[in-house]
Structure 1
Amino acid sequence: MGCSDDFVEVEPAGSNADNYFNSQEDYENALIGAYDLLQATFWNVLVGIIASDDYAAGGDPFNYDQPTLQNINLMIQTPSDENQLRDIWGLMYAGLNRANYVLEFKDKTDFPGREQLIAEAYFLRAYFTFELVKHFGNIPLKTEDRGGVLRIVNERVIAEDEFGMTRVADIATAYQIIEEDLKEAIANLPVTHDLPYRATKGAAQALLGKVYLYHGTYDASKFSDAAIVLNQVISGNQYSLTTGADYSVLFEGAGENGSESVFEIQYTGVEGASWSCITCSQGTYFPKFCGPRSPYDNPEFDAGWGFCLPSQDLYDLFDDNDMRRNVTFYDLRDAQDTYSQGRDDTGLFNRKYMPRKGDRNLSSDPLNYPQNYRSIRYADVLLMAAEAEAQSGGANAENYLNAVRARAYGDNSHDYTGSEGDLLEAIYNERRKELAGEGHRFFDLVRTNKAANTIDGFQVNKNEVFPIPLIELQLANAMERWGQNPGY
C-alpha cells in the first residue's frame, strides 16, 4: 500500500518557532527547558568519580553490572561502551541546543530583563559545551567568525547539520570558544537572584576562571587570566565558607543554596519517574549508586547499589581532627550495621551523596532523590584562585589555601609552611581532599598532566578524554570526518 503526502506532512506537537518567542513568558519557558538538562549532569559526576584514582566502581560482586562504569574504572573503555558515555554525549548536546534555541531568537521580541535572560542562555551553552569538551575533547560544533572571534553559531543544530559539522581544531580552541560565551554572559548577569537555580555573575566568573585553568594546560598565559577573574569572585564578597555545625550538613538538605553555593544544580523529589523515562524525573538517582548494597537497614540512609566506593588511601589522607573526613566518608568498617558487600568493597561510602531516607517520592521508583549537586562551591573558587595565583606569580595563593584549611580544622594550626614542599603541590593535594567525591579529581589529574602517574591503566594520549560513542559516529556518517579520539 502506497503512502500519500499527508502521511509525511505531520503537524508539530509543540510550539512552532515561527509562532513562538513573542513574549517574555515564551523566553522564560524556553530557558527553563535549557536549565532542565542540567539535571542530567549527574551522569557526568558519576563517571568523573569512578574514573579517578580515589574511587572504585563497585557494584554487584558476581555480575559485571554497569559495564561501561566498570570499564572506565579500569581505563579500558571503548567506543562500543554506551550507556553513561552516550548519555553524556546526547544530553549535553541537547542542553547546548536548547540554549541555542533561545539565542537563535534573542532579538525577536524586546521586554524588560531580556539582556539578563540571554546572558543566562550564554552561560548554559558554555556549561554544556565545557562538559562535552572535558569528556570528549575537540567536539563537533557549528561555528563562525563573529567580530573577529570564533564563536558558536546562535542557531539550533538540526538533524541535517550533523552531516556537515566538523570538529573544532583542538581542545585549546574549544576552551577559547567557551570563554567567549562566558565573557558575554558576565556582562549582563545579576549579582544575585531570587531563584537559586538561575545563574549569577559570580557563577559565570567562577566557571570562566575554571575554563582558563583548563586552558592553561595548553597556554600558560591563561593562568593569569584565571587569577584575575577568580579574584573578582572573591572580592565581590557574595560568598563565604560554611563553618562549624553548618559545615557538617553542607551536603544535606539543610545545606543547600547556602553561603558557599556559587552554582548549584537543583533537584526535587516531588515529581516521580519510571525506568521507562528516567530523564522525566526532576530528581536524581546518583545517590542510589552511592549507598550500601541491600539488604541494609539504617534509620538515616536507604540501601543503594554499592558503587563509587572511596579508597583506603583517600581516607588515610585525612587527619583525625579534619572535619572533612566525617562529611566525606560514611564508614561501615567497624559498624554494627550490616550490608551486602559488593565488588571492590572497602567498607567506606561517599557520604556527600548518600541516599537519605525520607528524601525521595516513595510512590515511584528510586529515581528522584532531591539532593542538589554543588557544581561550584566557594571552597573550589578559593583553591582555583590559589592555583591560578601560584601559577602566575600572584601573592594570594597561600592565603586562599589557608582559608580552606582553617575551615577544615577550625583554626589556623594547619596553615601552609615552606617545610611542606612545593606550594602548588600543596594546593593540588588540598583539592583532592576538599572536593573528594564530587567528580573533579579525574579532570584535575588530566589537566595537570598527573593522571598517567596516578591512575592505574591510564594511557597517555588516549585516556585524557573518553571515546566518542561509536553509534554517534555512525549516525552522523562521521567515521572519517570526525574520526575517533586518539588511541580508541
Structure 2
Amino acid sequence: MKQLLRYLLLFWTVLAISCGKFLDVKPKDYVSDDQTITDKTSAQTALRGTYRKLSADGYYGSLFQTFGYLPGDNVQWTGSQSVIQQFITHNIQADNGNLASVWSAIYATINSANHVITKVPGVNDAAFSSDDKNQIVGEALAIRALSYFDLARTWGNVQITLTPTLTMADKENVEQRNQEAVYAQVLADLNAAEPLLKAPVSANPVRINQETVWALKARYYLYRGQWSEAAAYAAKVLADQKNYQLVQPYAAFFSPASTVATRESVFELSYSATYTNSHRNSWQPPANGGTRQWAPADAFITLVNDAAIGGNRKALVGRTSAGLWYGNLYYRSPATDPAYIIRIAELYLIYAEALAQQGKTTEALTPLNAVRGRAGLTDFTGTSKEAALLAIENERRVEFAFEPHRWFDLVRTNRAAAVLGLTDAQKYLFPIPAQEILLSKGRLAQNPGY
C-alpha cells in the first residue's frame, strides 16, 4: 500500500474504461481530492475510475487472474522467472513481486470505492437524483465487496478499511482481521448494495446491477458452504433469461473479435485500443505477436480435445503451424478482449453444486447438463451425490480453464490435496507481502507457514 499512499498524497486520479457511452467519457486527471466528487458529473467520473482500477493489470486485467489458474493444473509456465514459478510449485515467497502488485491493486480499488461510497451521498447537485446517487453508491459497494472477497479467498487475514485513505496517518490504527470478519464485510457490502441498485432493463454486463449482486451472493454463499442460499441466488439470476443465456456454441461469448457484452456475461470488464488487456500478450504465441508466457498444460490439452469432455470448448486452445499449443480466450489485436468476472455458466454450475450438496442430485443434473449441452456433450446421468459433485468439479475445470477459478475451487472444496498432491493446508492461503508486513508497524502478522 506504500505506493498507493504516496500517490494519494499528490492526487486521486480516476480514468475511464472505454465501453459504451458511460465508459467512453474521460475523467479529469490530477484533481485534488477535495474537488473530486462535488456534483453528478464528478461522481460518475469517480465511479469510472473505480471500474478502471478493478480492470487494471494488477487486478482483473491480468495478475490477479493468474492467482486463480497458475496454482491449479490447467496452465503451465513457459518462462524461467521464479516469481511465476512459485505459484505453480506452491512455494510462494513473501517477497514475490506479483504478490505485492496484486495486493496493492486490490486495495487501490477498495480505496477508490471508499471515496465514492463516502462522498456521493453528501453531494448537493439539483441534477443528481437520489436514484442516481443510489445506483453509483451501489455499484461501488459491489466492487468493494468483490475486492474483499478476493482478499479473503487469497490471503484470508487482512485489514478492512471503509473510509478513503489520503495520508499514511489515516490507516495507522487499522488492525488485521481474520478471514471470517473479511467475509462478513463482503456480505455486508452486498446486502447494502442490493436495494440501491436497479434490476437490468436490458443486458449491459459492463455495469453492475441488482442481479450482478445476486450473482456475487451466489458465489459468496457457495464458498461459505451455505448451500440453500447459494442455490436461491443462483436461481434468481438464471430466471432472467431475457438478459442472461448460455450463448451457442461455447466460443460465441468471446468470438469473433468484435464480440463483447453478450448475454453469457453477467459481469465483464471492457478494454479499448488505448486501454488494452495485457492478458492477451501473455497467452498468444510469438507467431501471433505474443510471448506465450503461460500456456495450456499437456493434461488440459488432452482433456479439452477429447470430444467427450471438451466438446466444442476445444476453441479455448489453438495450435501454431509449428505445433505449439496456446490458450485462445484472449487473442484480439489490439488487445481489447474483455475480462470475464462472472458468466452465466458459473451460475448454472453454482446452482448444480448447491443442489447436489443438499442431496438433490436429480435436480442438480438439469443445470449441470445445460452447461454440458452447450458444450456439445451428452447428459451426465450419475445418481449419487459424490458422482454429481465430481462431475461438476470436472465441468468447472474445463469450462473456466483460463479464468480465475480452478485453484480457488480446489481449495474451497478441500480437494487440493487429492488433485494437486498439496497436503500442507497452510499453503492454501498466500503469504502477505513482506513489504506490507514491514510498513504495518506490527498491525499485520504473516500467515502461518510463511
Separation in 2 of the partners of 1:419 and 1:472?
47
Q: 1:349 aligns with which of 312, 319, 326?
A: 326
| Alignment-derived partner of residue 476 in structure 1 | 440
Q: Does 1:28 align with 2:44?
A: yes
- Counterpart residue type for residue 399 of structure 2: E
Separation in 1 of the partners of 2:376 and 2:171?
52
Question: CA offsets per residue over residues 37-68 of structure 1, 9 Å max, x none?
Answer: 12122211123221112211112xxxx23x21
Q: Does 1:303 align with 2:289?
A: yes
Q: Does 1:437 align with 2:402?
A: yes
| Alignment-derived partner of residue 287 in structure 1 | 280
- 1:88 aligns to what SS in structure 2? helix
Question: CA offsets per residue over residues 310-350 of structure 1, 9 Å max, x none?
Answer: 22222333432643342222134xxxx238xxxxxxx4321
For the 8 Å contact 2:247–2:253, the answer to whether it is kept is: yes
Separation in 1 of the partners of 2:432 and 2:212?
29
Residue 33 (structure 1) shift? 0.8
- Counterpart residue type for residue 320 of structure 1: A
Q: Does 1:56 align with 2:76?
A: yes
Distance verdict in 2 for CA 1:11–1:404, change over 3 Å:
closer
| Alignment-derived partner of residue 453 in structure 1 | 418
In the TM superposition, what are the counterparts of 1:19-418 in structure 2 within 5 Å?
19-40=35-56, 41=60, 42-59=62-79, 64-65=80-81, 67-82=82-97, 84-109=98-123, 111-112=128-129, 113-142=132-161, 153-156=162-165, 158-168=167-177, 170-192=178-200, 196-216=205-225, 222-237=226-241, 238-244=243-249, 247-252=250-255, 253-269=257-273, 271=274, 282-292=275-285, 294=286, 296=287, 302-318=288-304, 319-320=306-307, 322-332=310-320, 337-338=321-322, 347-353=324-330, 355-356=331-332, 359-360=333-334, 369-394=335-360, 396-409=363-376, 413-418=378-383
For the 8 Å contact 2:121–2:133, the answer to whether it is kept is: no
Separation in 2 of the partners of 1:11 and 1:463?
38
Residue 114 (structure 1) shift? 1.0
Distance verdict in 2 for CA 1:22–1:248, change over 3 Å:
closer
For the 8 Å contact 1:213–1:388, the answer to whether it is kept is: yes
Residue 370 (structure 1) shift? 0.9
For the 8 Å contact 1:324–1:434, the answer to whether it is kept is: no
Separation in 1 of the partners of 2:219 and 2:10?
44
- Counterpart residue type for residue 181 of structure 1: D
Residue 255 (structure 1) shift? 3.1
Residue 399 (structure 1) shift? 0.7
Residue 81 (structure 1) shift? 1.2
| Alignment-derived partner of residue 3 in structure 2 | none
For the 8 Å contact 1:401–1:416, the answer to whether it is kept is: no
Q: TM-score, normalising length from structure 1?
A: 0.79
Separation in 1 of the partners of 2:35 and 2:279?
38
Query: Which stretch has the larger CA shift, 23-32 or 179-188?
Result: 179-188
- Counterpart residue type for residue 486 of structure 1: P
Query: Which stretch has the larger CA shift, 191-200 or 119-128?
Result: 191-200
| Alignment-derived partner of residue 21 in structure 2 | none
Separation in 2 of the partners of 1:441 and 1:24?
40
Distance verdict in 2 for CA 1:12–1:207, change over 3 Å:
closer
Distance verdict in 2 for CA 1:320–1:71, change over 3 Å:
same
Larger helix proportion, structure 1 or 2? 2
Distance verdict in 2 for CA 1:12–1:88, change over 3 Å:
closer
Percent of matched pairs sharing the same residue: 29
- Counterpart residue type for residue 338 of structure 1: A
For the 8 Å contact 2:313–2:375, the answer to whether it is kept is: no
Structure (1 or 2) with the larger CA radius of gyration:
1
Question: CA offsets per residue over residues 204-251 of structure 1, 9 Å max, x none?
Answer: 1111111111122xxxxx22111111111112323110113xx33422
Residue 157 (structure 1) shift? 6.5
- 2:121 aligns to what SS in structure 1? coil
Residue 189 (structure 1) shift? 1.7
Residue 389 (structure 1) shift? 1.5
Residue 459 (structure 1) shift? 4.5
Separation in 2 of the partners of 1:377 and 1:116?
22
For the 8 Å contact 2:231–2:355, the answer to whether it is kept is: yes
Separation in 1 of the partners of 2:203 and 2:328?
29
For the 8 Å contact 2:219–2:350, the answer to whether it is kept is: yes
Separation in 2 of the partners of 1:51 and 1:11?
37
| Alignment-derived partner of residue 145 in structure 1 | none
Residue 199 (structure 1) shift? 0.7
For the 8 Å contact 2:11–2:33, the answer to whether it is kept is: no
Separation in 1 of the partners of 2:204 and 2:383?
44
Separation in 1 of the partners of 2:10 and 2:184?
40
- 2:258 aligns to what SS in structure 1? helix
- 1:89 aligns to what SS in structure 2? helix
Separation in 1 of the partners of 2:199 and 2:211?
7
- 2:410 aligns to what SS in structure 1? helix
Separation in 2 of the partners of 1:195 and 1:158?
36
Separation in 2 of the partners of 1:429 and 1:167?
36
- 2:266 aligns to what SS in structure 1? strand
Which consecutive unaligned segments of at least 5 residues does structure 1 have?
Answer: 1-9, 143-152, 217-221, 272-281, 297-301, 340-346, 361-368
For the 8 Å contact 2:296–2:326, the answer to whether it is kept is: yes
Separation in 2 of the partners of 1:155 and 1:19?
14
- Counterpart residue type for residue 448 of structure 2: P
- Counterpart residue type for residue 464 of structure 1: Y
Distance verdict in 2 for CA 1:415–1:267, change over 3 Å:
same
For the 8 Å contact 1:28–1:117, the answer to whether it is kept is: yes
Residue 11 (structure 1) shift? 8.2
Separation in 2 of the partners of 1:454 and 1:12?
47
Distance verdict in 2 for CA 1:121–1:419, change over 3 Å:
closer
